[in-house]
Structure 1
Amino acid sequence: MIGIAVEVAITRPAAQVWNVVADYARDPEWRRGVTAMEPSGPLAVGTTTDERMRFAGKGYRNGGVVETVGPGPTFTWRTTSGVTAAGRRTVEALGPDRCRVRLETTVEPSGFERLLAPVLGRLLQRNLAGDAARLRELVERGP
């Protein structure tokens, strides 16, 4: 099991940032390698997703489901097909115009990928840190 997490401070109100973090349809705007993300509806327990992405030169298609929402601006998810993964997204207000986002992911490599777990962990950590930076840039830049 590979567990990774990143935090990023963003100079925008938590509610504004939550609107992006909780909108799966916007994932391709800030998550590297995600080429399409189709949620079955607004964020709620049971919302399903169909994600298409590229990682390390390989294409993936992952089904997912939202498992919990709240309390507060946080939700958890897990995959239902494709790569075995789970995670959490949280937005914490630090003041009226500043917040912190925490992105957490666990991935269970399978087959040959288990041998590469240390390398995959570093790649995933770097990608997640880049995602957090792109999220900050997207939200701070505004519409």
Structure 2
Amino acid sequence: MKRAFAVDAVIDRPARDVWRVLTDWERAPRWMNGVESMRAESGTRIGSTITFHARGKTRTSEIADLDEGRSITLVTVQGGVTARYVYRLEPLDGDARTRAHLTADLATTGFPWVLFAPLIRLAVRRTDAGQISALRAATEGAPA
């Protein structure tokens, strides 16, 4: 997999509050650019399917890894493109604030996906690199 982007931001809320917003799938469109709706098929656990509607299409992600309250990995496969998004939360200042990290990695296989890999990574970066800033705004604006 090749890195599409890595971003982080400090959120002025405890990690438990950030985690609650991060994994509130039905409200994720507040901070996920281009996502119109989202829902978890069977909760937030490894192997669960997250179904979302984005840019006119229904897509799915699987929760591939989970450290409750600290990190979650979502993997989406579409055609010859596999995207892995890793969200990590790091408590700061005795958990008064949280550093939120997001990395997005992509792998492409087959024709024409391999040819378009650099453009796909660029599109993912343009679309999704603002997620952590938007998560910060959604969390800091959320009631305690």
Q: TM-score normalised to the size of structure 1?
A: 0.81
Q: What CA distance in whole angstroms lies between the structure 2 residues aligned with 1:73 and 1:50? A: 22
Matched, 1:94 2:95: no
Q: Which residue of 1 aligns with 2:63?
A: 66
Q: 1:120 to 1:79 in 2, by over 3 A?
A: closer
CA distance in 2, matches of 1:89, 1:26: 17
How high is the sequence identity, in percent, across the aligned residues? 31
**RMSD of Structure 2 on Structure 1 (CA):** 2.3
Q: Give the stretch that moved more between structures: 80-89 or 128-137.
A: 80-89
Which letter does structure 1 place at the counterpart of 2:60?
G
- Residues 6 and 128, structure 1, Cα contact 8 Å, conserved in 2: no
Structure 1, unpaired ranges of 5+: none
Aligned length: 139
Which secondary structure does the structure 1 equivalent of 2:20 belong to? helix
Residue of structure 2 in register with 1:106 after alignment: 105
Of 2-11 and 62-71, more deviation after overlay is shown by 62-71
TM-score between both structures, scaled by the size of structure 2:
0.81
Q: Deviations over 1:61-116 (max 9, x none)?
A: 32221122116511222125555222211111012321111112222346445434
Instruction: Supply the distance in 1 between the matched residues of 2:17 and 2:69 (Cα, whole angstroms).
Output: 14
**Judging changes above 3 Å, is the alpha-carbon distance between structure 1 residues 116 and 81 closer, same or farther for their aligned structure 2 residues?**
closer
- Which secondary structure does the structure 1 equivalent of 2:102 belong to? strand
